[in-house]
């Protein structure tokens, strides 16, 4: 029987975000926006959903005079991502 896929991670953009964050200590909002090729508004919305679930920490600050948003995958988010990958393997065979 197939394991259920986490509906939060089953979204293409949220899966891309978590995948990118799984390979780095943290990432700036602009980096994620460029890599996912999405709008700032859509990225912000999807990051908020991941943050609400406890999968991502978002830190807002400044770099000099400019606002800087940094995102980091939490342990809960990393575990959910690894679980998602394992469940997906069942589907692939």
- pLDDT one-digit tens code per residue, 30-77: 999 999 999 999 999 999 999 999 999 999 999 999 999 999 999 999
pTM: 0.93
Which CATH number does the domain 12-92 belong to among 3.30.300.10, 1.10.10.10, 3.40.630.30, 3.10.290.10?
1.10.10.10
Strand order in the sheet with 56-63: 27-28, 66-73, 56-63
Token pair recorded at residue 6? 């986490």
pLDDT recorded at residue 48 = 98
**Pairing relationship of beta strands 56-63 and 66-73 according to DSSP bridges:** antiparallel
Other C-beta atoms closer than 10 Å to the C-beta of 72 total 14
pLDDT recorded at residue 71 = 98
Q: Where are the domains of the chain?
A: 12-92
């Amino acid at each position: 029987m197939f394991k259920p896929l986490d509906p939060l991670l089953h979204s293409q953009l949220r899966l891309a975000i978590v995948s990118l964050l799984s390979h780095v200590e943290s990432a700036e909002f602009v980096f994620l926006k460029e890599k996912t090729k999405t709008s700032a508004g859509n990225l912000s919305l999807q990051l908020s959903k991941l943050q609400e679930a406890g999968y991502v920490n978002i830190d807002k600050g400044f770099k000099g005079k400019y606002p800087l948003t940094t995102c980091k995958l939490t342990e809960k988010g990393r575990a959910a991502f690894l679980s998602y990958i394992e469940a997906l393997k069942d589907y692939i065979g």
